[in-house]
Amino acid sequence: MKKIFYTRALPILLAMILLCGVMSANTLAAEEFVIQDDVLTEYHGDGGDVVIPDGVTRIEMGAFANCTALKSITIPDGVTKIGMGAFVNCTALKSITIPKSVVAIHAIAFKNCAGLTSVTFQGDEILIGDSAFSKCTSLTNIVLPKYTMICSYAFSDCIALVSVTCYDKIIEYPSTKDAFSGCPNLVIYGIAGSVTERYATNNSIPFVAVTAPEASTQAITATPTSSTVLVDGQPASFDAYTINGNNYFKLRDLACILSGSKAQFEVEWDSANNAIKLTSGQAYTAVGGEMASKGSGAKSATSTSSKLYLDGKEVSLTAYTINNNNYFKLRDIGQAFDFDVSWDGANNTIVIDTTTGYTAD
């Protein structure tokens, strides 16, 4: 395990050592960052305006907790997760930009950041954990990514919050409770007839219909996934691609190979309503072409425009269309149908285990 320390004062201290020849390395000031295997585990700096070093992929639980002198934080693109309580009680923190690489902000990550006035999400998808922004009492306006999963009490007691805008869909799960409780003046803005509107209605929050900015139809590049894939211990050759650092699998291939397992699901296409219908617990009905080939060569991918229904309820999962087929993020499907997805880095292998329930990293 590699362990890296960073300190602002290091160059000055080294010069003093060379000049005096008497200072022990043990007298150096406390390291500013502690980074283990690209995970930022601790911060020991003086606060102020802090820039996290490039190469960090995760901010660990409590890394900046109770740093009341922290005024601003720059998170590099490449960080994927902000751990539980990572910035809890950072009361002087004024604004935060969440780079597009971040897909999960875990529980109480920014709770009690009373000075926080602005949160900017740069990506299209995010999981916002339990009480992640609870009691951010200076926060007034939020624009959420179009694919957002909000957990219980995520923005509770944000008493100054007056608007939340989501131009596409807020996912609501049965475990979501009072995500915006204690926000007495809140209005939710979204597209008429969307899941966002239903979320507002179901939670007795005023809703205002707005027109979404014109979405970009520009294709992005999907590269074939080079990893080996094991399903319940057996190798499988999937037509799968990597998009923005995540693995996307052809939906019908997954349904086909999982058929007969406890994670099986049916896939139906409703052309009249431009909708994909998924039914958990049902064996898959093949339509031909499943597991026919392994992805080869870079392809153009565009965001899937179809609605998605899981067991009759509309949900939002990130999906792309490649050569007229729908590709979904593997971990999203694992979470939806409760099977485990793990990564064996030593063997460059994606491991799918239908006998074990889904667990987030």
Residues 90 and 30 in one domain: yes
Q: Is 361 contained in some domain? A: no
Residues 295 and 227 in one domain: yes
Residues 190 and 336 in one domain: no
Q: Is 347 contained in some domain? A: yes
Q: Is 215 contained in some domain? A: no
Sign of CA dihedral 30, 36, 41, 47: positive
Residues 35 and 136 in one domain: yes
Q: In the predicted model, is pLDDT for residue 302 greater than 90?
A: no
Q: In the beta sheet, which residues pair with residue 279?
A: 266
Q: C-alpha angle 196/219/342, rounded to 5°?
A: 70
**Whole-number Cα distances in Å, 100 to 1, 121, 165:** 27, 7, 18
End-to-end CA distance of the chain: 19
36-50 core/surface letters (b: 16 or more CB in 10 A; e: else): eeebbbbbebebeeb
pLDDT tens, residue by residue, 33-59: 999 999 999 999 999 999 999 999 999
Q: In the beta sheet, which residues pair with residue 302?
A: 321
Residues 287 and 197 in one domain: no
Indicate the residue among 209, 237, 261 that finishes a domain. Answer: 209
Indicate the residue among 150, 183, 209 that finishes a domain. Answer: 209
Cβ(44)–Cβ(32) below 8 Å: yes
Radius of gyration of the chain (CA): 23
Residues 92 and 180 in one domain: yes
Of residues 293 and 255, more confidence is placed in 255
Given this model, what pLDDT does residue 67 score?
96
Residues 179 and 317 in one domain: no
Q: Is 273 contained in some domain? A: yes
When the pLDDT of each residue in the chain is averaged and rounded to a whole number, the result is 85
**Whole-number Cα distances in Å, 255 to 261, 268, 280, 335:** 10, 11, 10, 14
| 81 backbone dihedrals φ, ψ, rounded to 5° | -140, 140
pLDDT average, residue stretch 73-98? 94
Residues 234 and 115 in one domain: no
Q: Is 214 contained in some domain? A: no
pLDDT tens, residue by residue, 189-248: 988 888 888 889 988 999 998 887 655 455 688 888 888 999 999 999 888 898 877 889
Residues 190 and 125 in one domain: yes
Residues 168 and 41 in one domain: yes
Please give the distance of CA 14 from its chain centroid, rounded to a whole number.
40
Q: Is 108 contained in some domain? A: yes
Given this model, what pLDDT does residue 123 score?
86
Burial environment of residue 245 by CB neighbours within 10 A (0 to 12, 13 to 18, 19 or more): exposed
Query: What is the number of structural domains in the chain?
Result: 2
Choose among 173, 122, 131, 169: nearest CA to 148: 169
Residues 36 and 128 in one domain: yes
Q: Is 322 contained in some domain? A: yes
Given this model, what pLDDT does residue 214 score?
56
| 273 backbone dihedrals φ, ψ, rounded to 5° | -115, 10
Q: Is 359 contained in some domain? A: no
Residues 204 and 324 in one domain: no
Whole-structure pTM value: 0.60
Q: What is the amino acid identity at position 95?
A: S
| Half-sphere CA count of 273, side-chain side, radius 13 A | 10
pLDDT average, residue stretch 156-174? 84
192: domain range? Answer: 3-209
pLDDT average, residue stretch 251-273? 92
Choose among 236, 226, 270, 249: nearest CA to 333: 249
| 290 backbone dihedrals φ, ψ, rounded to 5° | -70, 140
Indicate the residue among 190, 209, 228 that finishes a domain. Answer: 209
Long-range contacts of 113-117 (CB under 8 A, 24+ apart): 113/87, 113/88, 113/89, 114/138, 115/91
Q: In this structure, what CATH number is given to the domain that contains residue 116?
A: 3.80.10.10
